[in-house]
Chains A and B, each alone.
Chain A
Amino acid sequence: MDSTYAKRTVGRILAMAGKEVLHIRRDVRTLYLALAMPVLLLVLFGFGISFDVDHLDLAVVDQDRTALSRELVRQVTASEEFVLAWEGTSPEEAIRELRRGHAVAVMVLPHGFSEDVARGAGQVQLLMDGADGNTATQALAKAQALVDVAGRRFAGATLPAPPLEVRVRTLFNPNGRSALFLVPGLAAYLLAIVAVLITALTVAREWERGSMEQLFATPVGRLEIVVGKLLPYLGIGLLQVLLVLTVGAWLFDVPVRGSLVALGLGALLFLVGMLGQGLLISVITRNQVVATQVATMSSMLPSMLLSGFIFPIENLPPPLRVISLLIPARHFVTTLRGVLLRGNGLDVLWPQLVALTLFAALMLTLATRRFQRRLD
């Protein structure tokens, strides 16, 4: 009795899934949407968004005009970070360049610079455009570091080393490349949108066409409808994950350093949660247009703003930080960054996986329960 029951259930689920595959094959646009869009967006975003600051325009006011001052200017502008955009002797003119936006920083080497350096009291003045705070901070740090290095070289071995020194070494993403940081966030963001959107659309379509009523009149149970309908999209979703990671590795050298099991499990749980969310939306709205809007808003905004994809979780105000715990994309982004960049495994990432499991279970329970109610 039990085994025939199970066999029937599996048969009905497979019937649903098979039918859904036929729909997907009929409407290739769904497949394009699902597979091409994430890759396209990944490439656009990956190349387009960069938080790296380099090739900054520097205006130089060299009032000293000695070999030493010229050497410092050469050293600072020889780096990738700064480009010599203007050179003169009047600080006022240099500031005008700053105001016009022709330069983001001004370096002033005052009269008597080389003598001061010889006495061990050389001074360099840096004027920053603070209108773009992020750029100013980064430019300031870089300029300081460059001048620091140059200064030490001028002093030669004559000066004793400072008694205390901080040496910073960035692990996991030593060059501070944005792509490494962005790709995991982007992958979560894109998967969230596509998964929620596609499910919301396909289930809402059954309501709209009236075929849901026909389904309800058959012995196919609600849970069987849900599982059968989601299976093919789960397959597509996992394919997306592979695709996005491959493109990430190929174009942006995103490594995979950690546990593949944790990665696969995280992706699976995240997708089930997203599909469940899409299902819940379509069960409530029963309308393709409304479902599309709700699905886009409810998946896009939180997974962009509250996942750590663009804005670090630590920078969020405390109430939002608490809310972000409810956003599956946050946990998936953490999982992805952990596995890809930090080389983490299940031992570190299990809290994220538990959170993803809870979300998926909640969505599926709510959706199936809403579904249980008969037509009215």
Chain B
Amino acid sequence: MSPAIEVEHLTRRFGAFTAVNDVSFSVGAGEIFGYLGANGAGKSTTIRMLCGLLKPTGGHARVAGHDVGHEPERVKERIGYMSQRFSLYLDLTVRANLEFFAAAYGAHGRELERRIGEMLERMQLTPVQDEVTGSLPGGMQQRVALASAVLHRPRIVFLDEPTAGVDPVQRRSFWALIRELAAGGTTVFVTTHYMDEAEYCARIGIMVDGRLVALDTPEGLKRTHAPGRVLEVRGPNLAPALDALRGEPGVLDVSRFGAGATVRVDPERLSGEALGRWLRARGVDPLELEESAPTLDDVFLALTAGAQRGED
């Protein structure tokens, strides 16, 4: 079976600015593919090109077997797209929104009614179907948006930061829906900047300044880009000591945030206790020193080192 999404040297320039720079990857059918990056890294531009909304300036991409540059209309019929701001009609009821999108994708009559009933049930929206969408809480609006994007049973669905601004409980139940979709054979292409969500993805691509800098499973990414253990340090007057810490044997990476820092170490060469001793020897008494496995946050920090360090 051919891959659901095939991207080769995809490039998009806006004047002198290159938003997406020579990106290549492919996504298999039924896979949950995560696309990570800071704001402005080129995630949304990539998604828009893959959905046939934006013409690539270089390279090409095939989605559901059709070239996005040459046959965008074919692509649109076969995919679902949930844009960054859930672009529902907030003044219409939940049902009216679903009916409109179902009709826009060509469903009508009894088939339309059946699918809407099914979808309302599946997204747990049946009790609010006649409510005005704008009066619903954010988590529910987001489920309505997902419902209208998958109502026509697309083979591939693109979700652009679907959980932005939604509380953690709602995010978790939303991800349960996404996994259910994928289990049913739908390919899910999702962008996010929540690293905990990225752990749910089968594979992850990381965008930095328009380039795809890494692409692997979450475990693979951690192994390659954030090996070792992570020590979280909190305490007063850390700053001068942390600067000296960089370059010590066994220290792989130091990133500061707020009043603390994460220090990634090679556990063979430097243990938590050793780091504590080292800090105390320099007059810093850490209030807290916690050891954990590296997360995708650490991967992301390692990859976006430099200008972006400390921003998030």
Q: Give residues in A with beta carbon < 8 Å to B.
A: 8, 11-12, 14-16, 18-19, 22-23, 26-27, 209-221, 374-376
Contact = CB atoms under 8 A, between A and B. Distances in A.
Interface in B73-112: 73, 76-77, 79, 81, 83-85, 87-92, 96, 100-101, 103-106, 108
Contacts of A212: 87
Given A23-B91, A27-B91, A217-B51, 12 more contacts: A11-B103, A14-B103, A15-B103, A18-B103, A19-B92, A19-B100, A22-B92, A23-B89, A214-B83, A218-B76, A219-B106, A375-B54
Contact of B53 (A22, A217, A219, A221): A217
Given A26-B91, A214-B87, A219-B77, A376 B105 contact: no
Nearest to A12: B104
B87 A12 contact: no
Contact of A8 (B48, B53, B83, B106): B106
A215 B84 CA distance: 14
* Interface SS of chain B: loop
A151 to B, nearest CB: 73
Nearest to B51: A217
B66 to A, nearest CB: 12
Contact of A23 (B72, B79, B92): B92
23 contacts: A12-B104, A12-B106, A15-B104, A16-B104, A18-B103, A22-B92, A209-B90, A210-B83, A210-B85, A210-B87, A211-B87, A211-B88, A213-B83, A213-B87, A214-B83, A214-B87, A217-B52, A218-B105, A219-B104, A374-B54, A374-B55, A375-B53, A376-B54
A18 B84 CA distance: 25
Contacts of A374: 53-55, 72
Q: How many of chain B's residues touch chain A, expressed as a range?
A: 20 to 34
Interface of B: 14, 48, 51-55, 72-73, 76-77, 79, 81, 83-85, 87-92, 96, 100-101, 103-106, 108, 132
B100 A217 contact: no
Given A213-B83, A216-B53, A217-B53, A19 B106 contact: no
Pick the 4 closest A-B CB pairs, nearest first: A15-B103, A214-B87, A217-B81, A211-B87
A220 B72 CA distance: 12
Contacts of A375: 48, 53-54
A22 B100 CA distance: 10
Contacts of B14: 376
The listed residue with most A CB atoms (<10 A of its CB), out of B14, B48, B84, B103, is B103
A218 B104 contact: yes
Nearest to B79: A217
